[in-house]
Amino acid sequence: MSRAGPLAGTLGCSEFDAAALADAAPALDEGGPRLRTYTHELGTVEVHLEPYPARPTLVVAGATPVAAAVLEWATAVGFRTVLVESRAERLRGSLWDADAVLDRVDALEGAIAGDEIYAVLTDHDAPDVVDLCALLLRREPRYLGLMGSRRHTSHHLEALRAGGASEAEVASIRTPVGLDLGGRTAAEIALSIVAGLVAVRRGGGGAWKDTG
């Protein structure tokens, strides 16, 4: 069963099914298994409810060395990954370790699954940065980051404002991206980005544990 249904199979009667569906949402919210007993005039059943939450979706835009490393790290920590790259030459001859690889921005809407969405744009010189940000903002992502210094990304933010994005929406875009690990290589930069995503997802502060 899912939070909104439908129910696959049956517990034997509609009353049991309805009771299990009612208990499914709290189980998903609290994230832990539970045992429930349902009683009917025809008998009693014990039902074990165990949540299997959907993986959060991470959209990675731009086929760059940092993107390749982000995809690897993000998969390892449980994200469903979607790579978006509209420049065909960037995808040609390369294998990208993503759950979905899209070559058009307009294909992204149908590829985003669930309500827990994160996104990182790894190439501020890509031709579709503004279009991607506008599309992603409509989905209210938990994190939207644009890689690059403010000097390199501010014109994209201005273009979003000119296109109708609110100040709150523009302010929600994180740029630069990642935790301050001092990373220099693509893998180190990607690690700082994914570490930041984990901190957002889990509510962590990103500080050393022995200094707080």
92-139 confidence digits (pLDDT tens):
878 899 999 999 999 998 888 777 999 999 999 999 999 999 999 999
Rounded average pLDDT over 177-193: 96
Nearest in space to 85 (alpha carbons), one of 30, 25, 129: 129
pLDDT in tens, 163-176: 999 999 999 999 99
In the structure, what pLDDT confidence band is assigned to residue 19 with cuts at 50, 70 and 90?
A: confident
Distance CA 82, CA 60 (A): 6
Per-residue 3-state assignment (H helix, E strand, C coil) for the chain = CCCCCCCCCCCCCHHHHHHHHHHHHHHHHHCCCEEEEEEECCEEEEEEECCCCCCCEEEEECCCHHHHHHHHHHHHCCCEEEEECCCHHHHCCCCCCCCEEECCHHHHHHHCCCCCEEEEECCCCCCCHHHHHHHHHHCCCCEEEECCCHHHHHHHHHHHHHCCCCHHHHHCEECCCCCCCCCCCHHHHHHHHHHHHHHHHHCCCCCCCCCC
Percentage of the chain beyond pLDDT 90 is: 64
pLDDT of residue 23: 81
In the structure, what pLDDT confidence band is assigned to residue 7 with cuts at 50, 70 and 90?
A: low
pLDDT of residue 15: 85
In the structure, what pLDDT confidence band is assigned to residue 185 with cuts at 50, 70 and 90?
A: very high
For residues 208 and 42, which has the higher predicted lDDT (pLDDT)?
208
Task: List the domains of the chain with CATH numbers.
Answer: 14-49 (no CATH), 57-202 (3.40.50.720)
pLDDT of residue 1: 60
